[in-house]
Chains A and B, each alone.
Chain A
Amino acid sequence: QSALTQPPSASGSPGQSVTISCTGTSSDVGNYNYVSWYQQHPGKAPKLMIYEVYKRPSGVPDRFSGSKSGNTASLTVSGLQAEDEADYYCSSYAGSNTLVFGGGTKLTVL
């Protein structure tokens, strides 16, 4: 159950787009479409932003989108806004009834 690999930081200016990657293996991201993304603001609980690779829960802006290619999932935030500044975590089912999270990416809106 090794953590998924995310870049520690990402940044973009308001209005721009930024993509955060999440690299796993053929045992987790590459083998299942049970990939999700969470947003966490400082001192707050995480918020589900994307599930099943690309689906958005109701209430999540369509500026957030997800995708997957091979062992790597990605979260793209378009039209960056100040409130998007937060930590983002990916998660994947890893087989044998286990889940694994990524190490997290701190998104800075310049």
Chain B
Amino acid sequence: EVQLLESGGGLVQPGGSLRLSCAASGFTFSSYAVTWVRQAPGKGLEWVSGISTVGVGTYYADSVKGRFTISRDNSKNTLFLQMNSLRAEDSAVYYCAKDYFESSPYPFYFDNWGRGTLVTVSS
């Protein structure tokens, strides 16, 4: 069974940093592109960042470019999101999700999602 388990969320002050992790199991992690999608309370989904299978390709939404860094450790089946210079508008549940297609060059579709981790940016 595919499982994705996010962690690392919490309360942080504006301008602060957090590092999110997503532990994957039940599939060959290194064969799939993965992504982060966030959802502010009561709001819609927003794509944040994606990464290719071996981490060579990294992709970001304009809203987080230059502040967030996505990475992965295929030896530990773990996806990361380093979030710096956090703003109130970054407050959301952050989901990690797995690409539908194996070895896809880019994560277009997401067939498995974690339960999310809540990030709150507030003073």
The answer to whether B47 touches A36 (Cβ under 8 A) is no
B112 to chain A, nearest CB (A): 9
* Interface of A, helix, strand, loop or mixed by DSSP: strand
Q: Contact residue range for chain B?
A: 20 to 34
The answer to whether B116 touches A45 (Cβ under 8 A) is yes
The answer to whether A38 touches B45 (Cβ under 8 A) is yes
Q: Contact residue range for chain A?
A: 20 to 34
A97 to B62, CA, bound (A): 11
The answer to whether A45 touches B100 (Cβ under 8 A) is no
The answer to whether A93 touches B108 (Cβ under 8 A) is yes
The answer to whether B109 touches A51 (Cβ under 8 A) is yes
Q: List which B39-96 residues lie within 8 A (CB) of chain A.
A: 44-47, 50, 57, 59-63, 95
A91 to B50, CA, bound (A): 14
Seen from chain A, the residues whose Cβ lies within 8 Å of a Cβ on chain B are 1, 3, 34, 36, 38, 40, 45-48, 51-52, 57, 89, 91, 93, 97-104
